[in-house]
Amino acid sequence: MNDKLMGQALIDAVVKHDIITVKQLIKQGVDVEYVDSQNMTALLHCCQLQLLDILMLLVEAGADVHHANNLGHLPVELAHWHGEFHIGSYTATSQKIVKYLERYGGV
């Protein structure tokens, strides 16, 4: 499988919440910085979808916690916005994602 197909397969696996495929692709050396048409990496999709377990795998595999999408939004921002259930109130998962990203410098 070429790099582009592997990168898209990684994003597809994240969107499907398929942690097993994500682990397999990382083991095969997928480029965790592959971007889709909106400059979204798998890590950004994790933040948007609130997928802490997969996010941790991607960060450990070298995903850039500072990569912004085509609108300039950073992972930590997406984690906040998509984890907000009431103005100024965030889900526990969102708070864990933000803390994890901050630990790796993603502020």
What structural domains does the chain harbor? 3-103 (1.25.40.20)
| Sign of the alpha-carbon torsion through 86, 88, 52, 82 | positive
- The CA distance from 2 to 79, in Å, is 30
Distance CA 10, CA 12 (A): 5
pTM: 0.87
Q: Give me the pLDDT at residue 39, please.
A: 94
Q: What are the pLDDT digits (tens) for 41-91?
A: 999 999 999 999 999 999 999 999 999 999 999 999 999 888 876 566 778
